[in-house]
């Protein structure tokens, strides 16, 4: 696995599923919440991402239920999904740390 770049919306979807399985709309709310209102996923982005993650085996369907006449499709992070997310966290952390180090090497308005 070459760990190619993962875009932010996709990363946040995996992140939202890291602690518990959720349904699509639940992921949307969770992402909005955990990004302090910064990232509002479009349904096109959300469902396309979930389809892609399902196809890649990073996420699996975790049952369906109907609440108040509305269908809910649940999704859960798989083990490969956890590994992938962990790898992404390491990449982001390393990138951020290195950039921060470089910024400190030459402070603003030197």
Partner DNA sequence: GCGGGATATGCCGCTGGCCGACCTATGCTG
Partner DNA sequence: CAGCATAGGTCGGCCAGCGGCATATCCCGC
| Residue owning tokens 């479009």 | 42
Which is nearer to a copy of itself, 67 or 105 (by Cβ)? 105
Among 14, 16, 24, 84, binds DNA (CB under 7 A): 24
Q: Tell which positions 23-42 bind a copy of itself, by CB under 8 A.
A: 34-35
Q: To the nearest 10°, report the CA torsion of 63, 68, 69, 75.
A: -20
Among 29, 72, 73, 82, binds a copy of itself (CB under 8 A): 82
Nearest alpha carbon to residue 62 among 81, 90, 45: 81
Measured between alpha carbons, how far is 23 from 17 in angstroms, rounded to an integer? 9
Phi, psi of 57 (to 5 degrees): 75, 15
**CB 42 to DNA: min, Å:** 4
**CB 68 to a copy of itself: min, Å:** 27
Which is nearer to a copy of itself, 34 or 71 (by Cβ)? 34
How many CA atoms lie less than 13 Å away from 12 in the CB half-sphere? 23
Measured between alpha carbons, how far is 4 from 88 in angstroms, rounded to an integer? 9
In the complex, which residues of this chain contact a copy of itself (CB under 8 A)?
A: 5, 7-8, 11-12, 14-16, 18-20, 34-35, 79, 82, 85-86, 88-89, 92-93, 95-96, 98-100, 102-103, 105-106, 108-109
């Amino acid at each position: 696995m070459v760990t190619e770049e993962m875009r932010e919306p996709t990363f946040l979807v995996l992140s939202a599923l890291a602690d518990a399985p959720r349904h699509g709309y639940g992921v949307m709310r969770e992402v909005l919440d955990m990004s302090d209102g910064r990232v509002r996923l479009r349904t096109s982005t959300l469902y396309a991402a979930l389809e892609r993650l399902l196809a890649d085996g990073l996420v699996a369907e975790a049952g369906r239920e109907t609440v108040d006449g509305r269908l809910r499709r649940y999704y859960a992070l798989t083990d490969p999904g956890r590994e992938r997310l962990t790898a992404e966290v390491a990449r982001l952390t390393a990138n951020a740390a290195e950039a921060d180090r470089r910024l400190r090497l030459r402070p603003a308005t030197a």
